[in-house]
C-alpha cells in the first residue's frame, strides 16, 4: 500500500450523475487486482475531510492508468465531480482483498448501478488469465432505470455478453437483476454446467446473489460497499458481520465469500 500522488488524465461523463475518472498512478496501476479499491483525498473538500473509497474500474500497468467509475451520491463525490484533467490528488492503494481470479465453470457477474465498476476489471483479468479459452464471463446488470446501466460498451468491447434488468422496465427485463440471472442459472443447471457467482452493488442485491450461491452449492464472491474512515484496517469503522466475527470491509474485504457473510 502506498499514498500515490496521481494526475487526472480524463474525467468523462457517463450519463446522468455518473463519471469516469482516469488517473496516472503507475505504482497503484501495476499492483492493483480486481475488487481492490483506492482511498481518494478529494481536493475540493476541506483538508481535514475523510478520504473516499472507490472500486477500481480498470488498471493498466503498461500505461500506468487507474480508472474509477463513480456516481455522485454525497458531499465527497459532489466535490470530486469538480476535478479537472491536469489536477493532482493523493490516493492510497491498492487496498483490500479483491476477487479470486481462479473460478470453476462460467463466471456469472452481477452488478447493480456503479457496482459494475470492479466487475469490468475482474472480467478483463479473468479473460486474460484464460487466454481466450471459454467459458467467458457474463455480466448481469441492474438499475432503477436505463440511465443506471453503465459501461455496457466497455463490457461488449471485451466480448462479455450483457443482460440487463431495470426496475421500471425501461431497459431489459423489468425487475431486479436476479430475473435474467436466475434464468441463466436455471439453464446452466439444466445442462449440469458449473458456474461461479460474483457480485457488487446494493446490499439487497448482494444478499440475493449470495443466497443463490449457497442454494446452488457454488462459490459466490460478494463485494461490500461501506463508508470507511481509514481504508487500511486501522480504525474498525467499516464492519461486516461474518461467520468468524466482525470483519473489516477495507482489509478483510471488501470481497467476501458468500458463505462467510452474516446478513
Nearer to other proteins, 47 or 186 (CB): 47
**Shortest Å, Cβ 92 to other proteins:** 6
Q: In what order do the strands lie in the sheet with 173-174?
A: 173-174, 162-166, 138-143, 106-112, 195-200, 220-223, 255-257
Task: Give the C-alpha separation, 147 to 160, whole Å.
Answer: 20
**Shortest Å, Cβ 98 to other proteins:** 18
Distance of CA 85 to the CA centre of its chain: 24
Nearer to other proteins, 14 or 41 (CB): 41
Nearer to other proteins, 134 or 245 (CB): 245
Residues 6 or more apart whose CB falls under 8 angstroms from that of 157 comprise none
Nearer to other proteins, 95 or 162 (CB): 95
**Shortest Å, Cβ 245 to other proteins:** 7
Task: Give the C-alpha separation, 179 to 186, whole Å.
Answer: 11
**Shortest Å, Cβ 188 to other proteins:** 35
Task: Give the C-alpha separation, 121 to 48, whole Å.
Answer: 31
CB 214 within 8 A of CB 109: no
Nearer to other proteins, 127 or 251 (CB): 251
CB neighbourhood size of 134 (10 A): 6
∠ CA 238-255-15, nearest 5°, is 85
**Shortest Å, Cβ 45 to other proteins:** 9
**Shortest Å, Cβ 49 to other proteins:** 6
- C-alpha atoms less than 13 angstroms from C-alpha of 152 in its C-beta half-sphere: 15
Binding site for other proteins (CB under 8 A): 1-3, 41, 46-51, 75, 90, 92, 226-227, 229-230, 232-239, 245-246, 251
Nearest by Cα to 163 from 131, 187, 133? 187
**Shortest Å, Cβ 162 to other proteins:** 33
Nearer to other proteins, 127 or 232 (CB): 232
Nearer to other proteins, 72 or 184 (CB): 72
Per-residue burial over 103-123, b = 16 or more CB atoms within 10 Å of its CB, e = otherwise: beebbbbbbbbbbbbbbbbbb
Amino acid at each position: 500500500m502506498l499514498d500515490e500522488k496521481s494526475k487526472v488524465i480524463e474525467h468523462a461523463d457517463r450519463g446522468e450523475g455518473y463519471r469516469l475518472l482516469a488517473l496516472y498512478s503507475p505504482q497503484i496501476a501495476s499492483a492493483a487486482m480486481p475488487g481492490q479499491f483506492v482511498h481518494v483525498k478529494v481536493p475540493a473538500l476541506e483538508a481535514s475531510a475523510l478520504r473516499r473509497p472507490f472500486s477500481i474500474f480498470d488498471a493498466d500497468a503498461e500505461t500506468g492508468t487507474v480508472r474509477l467509475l463513480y456516481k455522485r451520491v454525497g458531499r465527497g463525490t459532489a466535490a470530486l465531480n469538480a476535478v479537472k484533467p491536469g489536477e493532482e490528488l493523493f490516493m492510497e492503494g491498492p487496498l483490500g482483498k479483491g476477487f479470486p481470479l481462479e473460478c470453476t465453470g462460467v463466471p456469472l457477474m452481477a452488478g447493480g448501478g456503479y457496482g459494475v465498476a470492479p466487475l469490468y476489471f475482474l472480467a478483463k483479468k479473468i479473460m486474460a488469465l484464460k487466454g481466450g479459452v471459454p467459458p467467458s464471463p457474463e455480466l448481469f446488470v441492474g438499475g432503477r432505470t436505463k440511465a443506471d446501466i453503465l459501461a455496457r460498451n466497455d463490457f461488449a468491447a471485451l466480448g462479455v455478453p450483457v443482460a440487463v434488468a431495470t426496475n421500471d422496465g425501461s431497459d431489459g427485463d423489468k425487475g431486479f437483476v436476479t430475473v435474467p440471472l436466475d434464468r441463466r442459472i436455471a439453464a446452466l443447471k439444466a445442462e449440469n454446467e458449473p458456474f461461479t457467482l460474483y457480485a457488487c452493488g446494493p446490499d439487497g442485491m448482494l444478499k440475493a446473489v449470495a443466497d443463490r450461491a449457497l442454494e446452488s452449492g457454488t462459490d459466490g464472491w460478494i463485494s461490500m460497499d461501506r463508508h470507511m474512515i481509514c481504508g487500511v484496517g486501522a480504525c474498525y469503522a467499516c464492519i461486516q458481520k461474518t461467520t468468524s466475527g466482525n470483519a473489516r470491509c477495507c482489509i478483510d474485504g471488501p470481497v467476501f465469500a458468500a458463505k462467510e457473510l452474516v446478513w
